[in-house]
Copies of this chain bind each other. A is one copy, B any other.
Amino acid sequence: MKKHNFSAGPCILPQEVFKKASEAVLDFNGSGLSILEISHRSAAFVDVMEEARALSLELLGLNDKGYKALFLQGGASMQFIMAAFNLMEKKAAYLDTGTWSAKAIKEAKLLGEVEVVASSKDKNYNYIPKDYSIPSDVDYFHCTSNNTIFGTSIQEFKETKVPVVCDMSSDIFSRQLDFSKFDLIYAGAQKNMGPAGATLVVVKEDILGKVSRNIPSMLDYKVHIGKDSMFNTPPVFAIYTSLLNLRWLKEKGGIEAIEKINKKKAELIYSEIDLNPLFKGFANKPDRSNMNATFNLVDDTLKERFDALLKEAGINGLNGHRSVGGYRASMYNALPKKSVGVLVEVMDELERKS
């Protein structure tokens, strides 16, 4: 039985992506060589890298707007310190909306002063603070667009004249935003983009080169830009698989088309959470994420029965993060609406039998 995979990341990718990636491990484009054994300097892979970079910008609507796309390593966690290395001269403003924001703040403090403009830690990050302003005397403002663990997302981004840095790891390519309002976007691939092991960085070139420190080469965006994202051996397979996924998204109609489907999936699960008396949502309603729906059983004694029903239905990866508990349905681009339907059915069934 094929599973319904609600994993928070690494997560489901389109079945056709799995199929093509699997084939490439045996024979990449009929070359007689595996994608794992070709040189990253080969014409075939340089084409992959260039198409992946260009397609990322195209899908985000950032062509010809002064941005460069890079495929790096180390995930968002490496970007926490890398962003600060490249942009922090003296002081930066951070919005604290969850575990990952807090980690970004911790790393940035190693290199300068951090002003936390607002935090929702007081309520275990179940909402997005709105009552704050972004100081004008900071080197940049940092936020997290979607909080995977808590199931919240920023619906409206405040206007500011300082550079805006955004960790979009768990919602990039899932919803339409005016991406040109951001100066640095980064995202671990393992949600809406590809397998773990690649990190997309989209940076507006004119914000770089303004700090006085010496930046280690591997942490310097300008070094990576100067080498077309090939300063050293890139994670070839993770980038190729990301490209397959980006092509799939383009064929589907891009972000505009996928956002409509994502909204339908989110409406399906949230209306069940709100109407089924056995469940309660975790996140503040206006801040709910369309990617990660967090919810709990009202009566924890039903857990065993619910978990058994989930297993029976082939539902995988629904456990909530340990800092929230309960359940989390991650519904990234590649998760079929049908899988959400199966989950809602199981929730209904629990109600009928209780």
Contacts and interface: CB of A to CB of B under 8 A. Distances in A.
Nearest to A79: B218
Contact of A238 (B216, B237, B314): B237
A37 B13 contact: yes
Contact of A10 (B36, B194, B238, B317): B36
Interface in A199-220: 214, 216-219
A196 interface: yes
Interface residues of A, number: 63
A271 interface: no
A264 B219 CA distance: 41
A278 to B, nearest CB: 25
Given A190-B233, A238-B235, A37 B22 contact: no
A7 interface: yes
A25 B18 contact: yes
Contacts of A302: none
Contact of A36 (B8, B26, B195, B217): B195
Contacts of A26: 18-19, 22
Given A217-B77, A217-B107, A238-B237, A196 B40 contact: yes
A88 to B, nearest CB: 12
Contacts of A241: 36
Interface of A: 1-3, 5, 7-13, 18-19, 21-23, 25-26, 31-34, 36-40, 73-78, 80-81, 103, 106-107, 110, 188, 190, 194-198, 214, 216-219, 231-238, 241, 314, 316-317
